[in-house]
Structure 1
Amino acid sequence: MSWHLGRLAGFDLETTGVDTETDRIVTACVVQCGGGQSTQSATWMADPGIEIPEEAAKVHGVTTEKARAEGRPAAEVVEQVTAALAEVVLAGVPVVAMNASFDLTMLDREARRHGVQPLIDIVGDDLRVIDPRVLDKKIDRFRRGGRKLEDLCRTYRVPLDGAHNADADAIAACRVVWRIGSSFPDLPRVALDDLHARQIEWAREQAEGLADYFRRTPGKEHQADGVRAEWPMVPAPRDGGDQ
């Protein structure tokens, strides 16, 4: 069976910001869908232990007050999310994550911050990821317009109810992947292991292209150094990063 017709595990985080080394998880979702089985979804809200900036709260709807009142301790959430992902990975289910290097890196840093065994240390080489952003940029390189999840949902005719809600985004990413697999027959012929390996190279090429664009664009040159090419996760700094 092709990877796009089998079981998929959507994964998404909403966070206090976009710096994977210093920002924190606010909400998370791991949803299993497809493969002829019923959909199973698990969601979490964490008290990140720091203030949630107003601009971030406007995106995902969780304020500092709401997180403190309704969220679970951050360490508990990180441990449970990591365990949920480890379970699906070790069962051979690929993780679907839009812009995977952000979400998986964020989870890794949170695990190290809270003394939780990181996902990569549990699953090792068994991790297989499908990133709709990387796939879309490879198969439709010159399409004009944005490449955010909302843009991909419009392009591939996938409904998105509640954008920037972790569970809505996770299931939408899985549906986009299914649409891509159904629309481009060459991709489903690629075995999952090979697809994962190819995405590593595609993501590197895409990052290098973005960095080159920044270098050539007046006023954006400084952004080139911040582009990371590692996928599906940026390795942890040797000093363990921000605590």
Structure 2
Amino acid sequence: MGWHGDALVGFDLETTGTDIENDRIVTAALAHLEPDGRTATARSWLIDPGVPIPDEAAAIHGISTARAREQGMPAAAGVAAVVEAVAEVLRSGRPLAVMNARYDLSLLDRECRRHGIAPLSARLGRSPGPVVDPLVLDKHCDRYRKGKRTLQALCEHYGVPLTGAHDAGADALAAAQVALCIGRKHEAVGCLDLAALHDLQVRAAAEQAVSFQRHLRRTSNPGARVEQAWPLIPAQRGPDADRPAPGPETGQGRGSGRRAGSGQGPAAPGSPGTSAAGDPSTAEVPAPRPPTE
């Protein structure tokens, strides 16, 4: 039956902005989805990021600075709880479904380092996995489809209900449901075991980044460099490290403050509206032409 015949766990973050190196976690959620579509368990965290939450971000995910300070966990404690919960999932061998994993897992990594907490890779002793990224898989399986590739758009395409969009819990559950739908619809990926699926996504994400880089260089930025690493972008080695531009997954519309980004600096790969060329997931980047006979 393949990986989609087993349970998987959705994961999502809502944040203060678009920059994986500098922005902070505001809410996080894990949703354990059974193969029959039932949600077995769900966990969520509200965190005081320790910095003001921009109004643009609060308008999207609904968490104000005042609410986070009053009701949220201290940042270090919250980040530690989230990363350990994610580590528990991956230690168990269950796949983690993350829409645009590059963004969430990289920002979580930077938050851990900021607070002196062991990051996910250190807790696992390896790169995070198995990860199932609906965005990468959808683009790999249906590369010629036109239109947006936001979480909401994927939910509509695969017939997944999305209630409470821009809420970490709702988005985590939707990411898992879309992942299952992709596995069931596209046999070429659905038949794989988790290790092979993860490796396929590493390659597919890199290929998609190369394609996006080519598009940027052709249309707007001759010197563009696009991040290829997936599912985790390695931490910068120093304050002056040169960071490639966001990957092609920008603008995923997953309900976080990252949609409010300006598109400048080392913005989060996959964060909405943060690439130098605008938002390819909202049809800024044309779909590749299908091969002709």
TM-score by length of 2: 0.78
Between 172-181 and 122-131, report the one with greater CA deviation: 122-131
Contact preservation (8 Å) 2:182, 2:190: no
Give the Å deviation of 1:32: 1.2
Aligned residue in 1 for 2:8: 8
Contact preservation (8 Å) 1:210, 1:224: no
Give the Å deviation of 1:198: 0.9
More helix by share: 1
Aligned residue in 1 for 2:58: 57
1:214 maps to which of 213, 216, 231: 216
Q: Give the AA of the match of 1:64.
A: T
Give the Å deviation of 1:139: 0.6
SS at match of 1:28: strand
Aligned residue in 1 for 2:237: 238
SS at match of 1:19: coil
Q: Give the AA of the match of 1:205.
A: E
Give the Å deviation of 1:35: 4.1
Number of equivalent positions? 239
Using the alignment, how far apart are the partners of 2:222 and 2:47 within structure 1?
34
Aligned residue in 1 for 2:119: 118
Give the Å deviation of 1:223: 8.4
Give the Å deviation of 1:69: 1.1
SS at match of 1:138: helix
Give the Å deviation of 1:157: 0.6
**Whose relative contact order is higher, 1 or 2, with alpha carbons under 8 Å and at least 6 apart?**
2
Using the alignment, how far apart are the partners of 1:115 and 1:147 within structure 2?
35
Give the Å deviation of 1:186: 2.0
Gaps of 5+ in 2: 242-293
Contact preservation (8 Å) 2:31, 2:39: no
Using the alignment, how far apart are the partners of 2:122 and 2:4 within structure 1?
27
Equivalent runs, 1:68-79 vs 2, <5 Å: 68-79=69-80
1:162 maps to which of 155, 164, 178: 164
Contact preservation (8 Å) 2:109, 2:119: yes
Using the alignment, how far apart are the partners of 1:143 and 1:191 within structure 2?
26
Using the alignment, how far apart are the partners of 1:156 and 1:32 within structure 2?
19
SS at match of 2:109: helix
SS at match of 2:32: strand
Q: Give the AA of the match of 1:156.
A: Y
Contact preservation (8 Å) 1:211, 1:223: no
Using the alignment, how far apart are the partners of 2:117 and 2:185 within structure 1?
40
Aligned residue in 2 for 1:104: 105
Give the Å deviation of 1:222: 7.0
Using the alignment, how far apart are the partners of 1:238 and 1:146 within structure 2?
34
Using the alignment, how far apart are the partners of 1:65 and 1:164 within structure 2?
19
Give the Å deviation of 1:38: 5.3
Gaps of 5+ in 1: none
The sequence identity of aligned pairs, in percent, is 47
Give the Å deviation of 1:206: 0.3
Contact preservation (8 Å) 1:46, 1:73: yes
Question: Following superposition, which runs of at least 4 residues in structure 1 exceed 6 angstroms of deviation?
Answer: none
Is 2:17 aligned against 1:17? yes
Between 123-132 and 229-238, report the one with greater CA deviation: 123-132
Using the alignment, how far apart are the partners of 1:52 and 1:222 within structure 2?
34
Q: Give the AA of the match of 1:128.
A: P
2:146 maps to which of 141, 144, 147: 144
